[in-house]
Amino acid sequence: MKVEGFLRAALLGIVLGSAPALTPQADAETLRVVRGSTSAPLSVAMNRAVVVESDIAFAELSIANPAIADISSLSDRTIYVLGKAPGTTTLSMFDAEGRLITNVDVRVAADVSEFKERLRQILPGEPIEVRTANDGVVMSGTVGSIQALDRALSLAERYAPGRVSNLMQVGGVQQVMLKVRFAEMQRSVSKALRSSVGIAGELFGDEVGLVTETGSFLDGDNSITGAQISPDTEGGALIGFDAGGLEVGILLEALESKGMVRMLAEPNLTALSGQEASFLAGGEYPVPIGGGDGQITIEFKPFGIQLDFVPRVVDGDLINLELSTEVSSIDSTSGIDLEFVRVDGFSTRSAKTTVELRDGESFAIAGLLQDDFRDSSSQLPWIGDVPVLGSLFRSVDYTREQSELVIIVTPHLVTPTRGEALALPTDRVRPPTERDLFLFGKTQAGQRPARGAAGEVATQDFNGSYGYVMD
């Protein structure tokens, strides 16, 4: 008995000395053993040891799969259990007569205690639950942002690479309405001063035709005889007289033109965080394309207001926007004439970028200030250099064009609302009766009466957002 006690004490000392530092889970547990059953399964962390005390004395122990857990007896009531690999196995306990006392389910899982501690340090306040499943890690809970979710998953991959199951959800508002404003202003001014001189008739019995022109006197089917002005002439004054057998025509053109164009587009589009959304308000223009066998096919090119964007709610109200936007229109001045058809060109203003801003903030993602200046002077050699008289043989043109373009984007976090709180632009008017249309020329019979929130909104101006409520 003394030798047996000495050996048990020596074995206990060796085991405790070689075991790794015990975590709170390694404290001695009391396994309530009743013949045929136990109080609960035994959970052991991988590469960790647990010392279990039994209420019933046992004489023999057996483990079903030693590759999952290893056991040794420290006394007839104390068991040392070491987790080796993830999985579940059975620990069997026998009495001195060889009869089965009970079977204990031993569950070995990855050690996540350190991972939980690091998670609390890096993401304090995030209610993330971490559980083990076989040889992997299962994460659940609701986090405040996608950025917090990505950080948690990145940390989990350090502890269980390739074995992380993500059951977490992102809370808060995850729908983004993007407001894009296009504003363009074009101004142009041009001035022109031209002159044309034409001479025709008989000189010394011979018919002479002499024409000198720096303007548009002879455009079209006009001739010097009769001193006619071309229909294409703008701002022109004609002076004609006869000198013997000669007819002299002098055309003076002075023209100044100004123009201004204002273009404004404001598309709005809503999408879920991380999902792509597209918007097109316009049409498609048929463009003929020649084939290799001489046949012509038609390809339709879209034009109008186009918006494509992918919003990502990064953290709280911080939004990452990946967007591509374009405003195009048909421009007949830049087209080409083919054999049987004319193909118009397109005037396009577009931008493609990625920006990051908060809810309600705005960015001018594109801007253009263009100032073009052109002038030209043409004259007859030598004669055009003569003072005063030379101006009749000189033509001067001056053109200046300015263009300003700004594209501004503003994102908003939005949530859906009840249908009766929304209104359409068509809710404000009623179709006219035949009496109102034919007798009084009214195109509408008046506004509908306001009913509830939708009716109140319908009486307001068309400007505003429809379909969502800004958070």
Boundary residue ending a domain (89, 109, 129): 109
Separation of alpha carbons 239 and 251, rounded Å? 6
| Backbone conformation region of residue 404, classed left if phi is above 0, alpha if psi is from -120 to 50, else beta | beta
pLDDT tens, position by position, 137-156: 888 888 877 778 888 888 88
Separation of alpha carbons 118 and 111, rounded Å? 13
| Whether the Cβ atoms of residue 115 and residue 122 lie closer than 8 Å to each other | no
The DSSP element (H or E) to which 165 belongs, if any, is: strand 164-170
Separation of alpha carbons 85 and 65, rounded Å? 10
pLDDT tens, position by position, 332-341: 888 888 777 7
136 within some domain: yes
The predicted model gives 12-38 an average pLDDT of 47
My answer on whether 260 and 337 are in the same domain is yes
353 within some domain: yes
What pLDDT is attached to residue 322?
92
My answer on whether 362 and 307 are in the same domain is yes
What pLDDT is attached to residue 17?
44
Q: How many residues make up the chain in this entry?
A: 471
Which phi and psi (to 5°) does residue 25 adopt? -70, -20
Separation of alpha carbons 416 and 420, rounded Å? 12
| Whether the Cβ atoms of residue 375 and residue 193 lie closer than 8 Å to each other | no
pLDDT range class, residue 31, cuts 50, 70, 90 = low
Boundary residue ending a domain (109, 127, 150): 109
My answer on whether 405 and 425 are in the same domain is no
305 within some domain: yes
Please give the residue that has the higher pLDDT: either 246 or 45.
45
My answer on whether 322 and 359 are in the same domain is yes
Please give the residue that has the higher pLDDT: either 17 or 135.
135
Separation of alpha carbons 244 and 396, rounded Å? 32
My answer on whether 442 and 336 are in the same domain is no
Structure-token pair, residue 276: 């792509």
| Backbone conformation region of residue 159, classed left if phi is above 0, alpha if psi is from -120 to 50, else beta | alpha
Separation of alpha carbons 75 and 92, rounded Å? 16
My answer on whether 152 and 135 are in the same domain is yes
14 within some domain: no
Strand ranges in 204-245 using DSSP code E only, listed in sequence order: 206-213, 236-243
Domain count of the fold of the chain: 4
197 within some domain: no
pLDDT range class, residue 12, cuts 50, 70, 90 = very low
My answer on whether 141 and 267 are in the same domain is no
What pLDDT is attached to residue 349?
85
My answer on whether 315 and 454 are in the same domain is no
Looking at residue 390, what DSSP letter applies?
Answer: G
My answer on whether 290 and 342 are in the same domain is yes
362 within some domain: yes
CA distances from 280 to 191, 259, 284, 366 (A): 40, 29, 10, 20
pLDDT tens, position by position, 407-432: 899 999 888 877 777 767 676 677 78
My answer on whether 369 and 260 are in the same domain is yes
My answer on whether 184 and 295 are in the same domain is yes
Which of 89-103, 193-207, 338-352, 390-404 shows the lowest per-residue confidence on average (mean pLDDT)? 193-207
My answer on whether 371 and 300 are in the same domain is yes
Q: What percent of the chain has pLDDT over 70?
A: 72
Please give the residue that has the higher pLDDT: either 453 or 259.
259
Write down the mean pLDDT value for the chain.
75
389 within some domain: no
Please give the residue that has the higher pLDDT: either 251 or 229.
251
Taking the whole predicted model, whether its pTM rises above 0.75 is answered as no
Structure-token pair, residue 221: 């089917």
Query: Residue 21 above 50 pLDDT?
Result: no
pLDDT tens, position by position, 88-99: 888 888 888 888
Structure-token pair, residue 69: 């857990």
Separation of alpha carbons 180 and 178, rounded Å? 6
Q: What is the CATH number of the domain that holds 76?
A: 2.60.40.1380
CA distances from 237 to 194, 249, 251, 461 (A): 11, 11, 6, 51
Structure-token pair, residue 79: 């068991």
Boundary residue ending a domain (109, 132, 152): 109
pLDDT tens, position by position, 108-140: 877 788 888 888 888 887 888 888 777 778 888
Query: Residue 219 above 80 pLDDT?
Result: no
Q: What is the CATH number of the domain that holds 150?
A: 3.30.70.1770
209 within some domain: no
Residue 288: domain span: 176-189+253-377+394-416
Q: Is 243 helix (H, G, I), strand (E, B) or coil?
A: strand
The DSSP element (H or E) to which 269 belongs, if any, is: strand 268-272
Q: Which of 16-30, 118-132, 439-453 has the highest mean pLDDT?
A: 118-132
